[in-house]
Amino acid sequence: MRALTTLVLLPLFAAPLAAQESEALVKYFNKYPFDEVDGSTFLQRSEVVRVVRRSIPQQFLQEMVLSDEHTAGPIDGLDGYLQMSACEQHNCDDHRWVVAVKYDGSKGAVCYFNKDLSNGSRWFVDGRKVFEGSVFSTCETGRMPSPVLKALDEYVRPFNF
């Protein structure tokens, strides 16, 4: 009976928690990824770290994307996602990435472009490549390519509390 009560009450407590996290992420809109809001940067938020680690399979890329050793613009938002764009200092045309995180932190995608490795940018959702563009311009904030949005719509991994 106790387990049944827990299952019934869990959604009642989970919704306010998700709403609180959603509000916390929205506070980063128009801030830089390295600006602190309520004591942490955008890249330090557990929701953002989780999206990056789940999206990109290679650990060295995860660490690079999550580092604050890069050039970045302000965080913007579109289609229910906060989007952060960054690049290697003094090499932005050839080495850049985007992190897109749903406002509630439940899912997201990462775009990665490195001209030394490929002529196209790659979008990743949940550890798999879902789109490869022919030019780096698809690795910018703004409207995400439709295959990325489709993969995010199909994304069903449960939110971890």
What are the average pLDDT values for consecutive 10-residue runs of the chain, which has 161 residues? 44 45 80 95 96 94 92 92 94 92 93 86 92 74 89 70 41
Q: At what angle do helices 2-26 and 46-55 cross, to 10 degrees?
A: 100
pLDDT at position 6? 43
pLDDT at position 67? 93
pLDDT at position 129? 93
pLDDT at position 56? 93
Answering whether pTM is above 0.75, one says yes
Say which amino acid occupies 106.
S
**Which residues in 1-160 belong to E strands, given as ranges?**
71-72, 76-78, 81-87, 95-102, 108-114, 122-125, 128-132
> Token pair for residue 123?
């979008």
pLDDT at position 135? 60
